[in-house]
Structure 1
Amino acid sequence: MLKARIPVALEGYPFILLAGFATLVVAILGLFLPALLLLALTLFIVYFFRDPERVAPREEDVLVAPADGKVIRVERVFDERFVKEHVYKVSIFMNIFNVHVNRIPFPGRVEQIIYMPGSFYSADSERGALKNEACALVLASERGHRMAVVQVAGLVARRIVCWAEPGDQLARGQRFGLIRFGSRVDLYLPLSTQLEVTEGRKVKAGETVLGYLS
């Protein structure tokens, strides 16, 4: 049974408290319209940092989405930065209305965490994918599959949060980080993956099946 928890990411608390405090001060001063606008902003911040429970599929080979959002790219590429081999690349774009907590797509051990400072181009562009600030987890499964899960900052996103550490053994659907205010997550998958997802599909982190690792 899942334990009861507050469905809001801890990283959102400072923003929520600051916006709530500003709302209270403005309301006490009797400024009705500004207080109403600040209240709407506070509620939006709470909504943005929501962190609902998700139940991952239990099939042994299933691969789930690492992020909520829309699949904007599915292609075969040579990845020279992370796993250094030919892979399938699946890109998921998160707008400001999506849940921004990211989850592990497949059980595995964290081999490496690679942080790359960079720019803040639009997250749904290829220039953004290559040049924006990013944080990559390189995972290895018990059967030797290697993949990379890459958090990419966007035009508005200015903070990537990654809770995982090298050596961690992570479960499918487990939370590993978040990105603040719009971004994308790229998956670099072995060519042995049987993909079940196409461009344009909307997915949910930890629940939507992207494919199967044979």
Structure 2
Amino acid sequence: MFHKEGHKIIIITLIFVVGCFLLADTYIGQAWLRTVIMIGLLLVLILILQFFRNPKRHSVIDDKHVLSPVDGKVVVIEEVFEKEYFKEKRLQVSVFMSPLNVHVTRYPISGNVIFSKYHPGKYLVAWHPKASEENERTTVVVENETYGKVLHRQIAGALAKRIVNYAKLNNKAIQGQDSGFIKFGSRVDLFLPLDTKIKVKLNQKVSGGETVIAEKG
């Protein structure tokens, strides 16, 4: 299954690859060169298909748990001052996605969307200290009675040129369902209450919509 954000790109890439195959078969007489070109084109198509894959996830809905919003590796666990929405100290957990990871962003908790904002910006590498404040990004806050308020922020990386955000103000969020999509590499930051019990470690690989990042303290 492929994500809807990739349908147009996949079709265009497929047409391009097929067209190049036909041209190579017609105009390139050297068999070795024709083979190299065809293999290269197939690799491009495979990479595009892999990037936009959207595997089914089995999210266990639990209002006491915060699920990872994305696939990737935990690169930050620290107490910080969140200045955009909370304007107070929070626990930050950041997950970095390589271009090979699934790039669907999923709601970490169920509840009501009480804040959703897009920020245009730069395209610093995702692990840059200022990426969360200066890069293209979206900030979404979901609230429920059990856990309270959880903020997740999609941050564009050096390759990402478009962030898609489905979260609209007053929408009903369902834990594990699609919240957005980031095209071509990036990271997502979570900002959690200080009494949260973190259930992951630095450099741990996590799965969006399945791995428990934290639980209610």
Report the TM-score, using the length of structure 1 for normalisation.
0.93
Matched, 1:124 2:127: yes
Q: Out of 40, 52, 56, which is 1:53 matched to?
A: 56
Q: Report the counterpart of residue 108 of structure 1 in structure 2.
A: 111
Q: Deviations over 1:113-164 (max 9, x none)?
A: 1111110000012122221010010111124711211000000000101112
Can you list the C-alpha shifts for 1:61-100, whole angstroms capped at 9, x where unaligned? Answer: 1111011000000001111112222110000000001000
Aligned length: 208
- Whole-angstrom distance in 2 between the partners of 1:141 and 1:18: 41
Q: Provide the residue aligned with 1:27 in structure 2.
A: 21
* 2:183 aligned partner: 180
Deviation per CA, 1:101-123, whole angstroms, max 9, x where unpaired? 01111111111111111100000
Task: Output the amino acid matched with 2:17.
Answer: T
1:136 match: 139
CA distance in 2, matches of 1:175, 1:162: 9
Name structure 1 gaps, 5 residues minimum.
1-6
Give the SS at the match of 1:138: strand
Higher gyration radius (CA): 2
After superposition, residues 5-16 of structure 1 pair within 5 angstroms as: 7-16=1-10
Q: State the superposition RMSD in angstroms.
A: 1.3
Measure how far apart 1:198 and its partner are: 1.6
- Give the alignment partner of residue 69 of structure 1, picking from 66, 69, 72: 72
* Distance in 1 of aligned mates of 2:174 and 2:57: 13
1:156-198 Cα offsets, whole Å, 9 max, x none, are 0001011121111111111111100000000011112111112
- Runs of 4+ aligned structure 1 residues displaced above 4 Å come to none
Indicate yes or no: 2:148 matched with 1:154: no
Task: Look up the equivalent residue of 1:123 and give its one-letter code.
Answer: A
Structure 2 gap segments, 5+ residues each: 29-33
Q: Percent identity?
A: 35
- Per-residue CA deviation, residues 191-211 of structure 1 (Å, 9 max, x unaligned), is 121111121111000000111
What secondary structure, in the 3-state scheme, does the structure 1 residue paired with 2:92 have? Answer: strand
